[in-house]
Amino acid sequence: MTEYRNLGRTGVKVSPLCLGTMMFGARGNTDHADSVRIIHHALDSGINFVDTADVYSAGESETIVGKALAGGRRDNVVLATKFHGSLGSDPNEQGNSRRWIVREVENSLRRLGTDWIDLYQVHRPEPDTDFDETLGALSGLVQQGKIRYIGTSTFEPSAIVEGQWIAERRGRERVVAEQPPYSLLVRGIEREVLPVAQQYGLGVLSWSPLAGGWLSGRYRQGAGQPASSRAGGQAARFDVTSPENAAKLAAAEALAQLAEEAGLTLVQLALAFVLEHPAITSAIIGPRTFEQLDSQLGADKIRLTRDVLDRIDEIILPGTNLSTRDAGYTPPSRTDSALRRRPRN
């Protein structure tokens, strides 16, 4: 029996496992019928929370989700999608501006085959766009009934607080959820993001709880580097000769051994760990196949012992990301040196 959790303070009940659909479409499973069957299996197993984005396979993922929710399934699903990424050569076919938001929400609604989106999320920050403009446009969509709630993804603590301030001072709809990266190997959000989310009563749906596949059980020391569609497209993130990835491989090995001692698979350990944190509402799983989905279902029923949790903390220190690439977003203040230097006369 699934024990549903509150999505922040909204009163909406969602499953601890949220079905992520990034791997449905050209980026992963190209068979629409098979993808629909996987989504149906997840829903039949008690999952009522589905997350997608307009940029996943250039809208194809949303189209597949729409097919899966047709025929009466839509009403019982809390449906989340995102906007921000580029969807064309036009420089205005992206971002967090009012112009793009009011246009793109219509495209997402059409692809999803629905009249409303439960949680519409800003996929990434955009420092050049006034956050009040973004929240103003989203507030209008709430008032029109096209979206129910507003969320963000991979925002820094200061931006999360700014969103709450804007809502209070300028009468905007409040952001009710944040979607950050979180896993056994990516614990950076434990420093500030999760405490801030708790302070403001935000729901948190964490992405990549298996650390992009590092915690799938396939990456073991001495086993060689397995073939992977993700590794093929992002070779630097899986090159085990780099110091950061070597540290991730060593940690994954230690965690796999710990999981075996606890009578669990590494996948189960990874998901149970994420769901153990009191700030986490749901962990987003992103299966491409039935086998991958089945390996993750039921992980929300597992409770880790204090001893296991203490040993995890010894392997990866709380608040630590083993790789800087895994943060999901780096603000321009850290990537653009010109912002840290006075202009020359």
Give per-residue pLDDT as tens, 77-134.
Answer: 999 999 999 999 999 999 999 999 999 999 999 999 999 999 999 999 999 999 999 9
Q: What local confidence, expressed as pLDDT, does residue 38 receive?
A: 98
Total residues belonging to the chain: 345
Mean pLDDT of 250-279: 97
Please say if the pLDDT value at position 231 is more than 60. no
Longest dimension (CA), the chain: 68
- What totals of helices (H) and strands (E) does the chain contain, helices first? 12, 10
Q: What local confidence, expressed as pLDDT, does residue 136 receive?
A: 98
Q: Predicted confidence band at 227 (pLDDT cuts at 50, 70, 90)?
A: low
Give the containing element (helix H, strand E) for 252: helix 243-261
Our measurement of the distance from residue 188's CA atom to the centroid of its chain's CA atoms, rounded to an integer in Å, reads 15
Mean pLDDT of 141-168: 98
Angle at CA 44, nearest 5°, toward 41 and 49? Answer: 90
Active site residues: 56
Q: What local confidence, expressed as pLDDT, does residue 66 receive?
A: 98
Q: What percent of the chain has pLDDT over 70?
A: 96
* Tokens linked to 308: 């296991």
Mean pLDDT of 272-295: 98
Q: What local confidence, expressed as pLDDT, does residue 222 receive?
A: 63
Please say if the pLDDT value at position 232 is more than 60. no
Mean confidence (pLDDT) of the chain: 94
Q: What local confidence, expressed as pLDDT, does residue 295 receive?
A: 97
> Which residues share a beta bridge with 100?
none
Give the containing element (helix H, strand E) for 228: none
pLDDT tens sequence across 22-40: 999 999 999 999 999 999 9
Q: What local confidence, expressed as pLDDT, does residue 238 receive?
A: 79
Mean pLDDT of 142-149: 98
Q: What local confidence, expressed as pLDDT, does residue 301 receive?
A: 97
Mean pLDDT of 47-75: 97
Please say if the pLDDT value at position 228 is more than 80. no
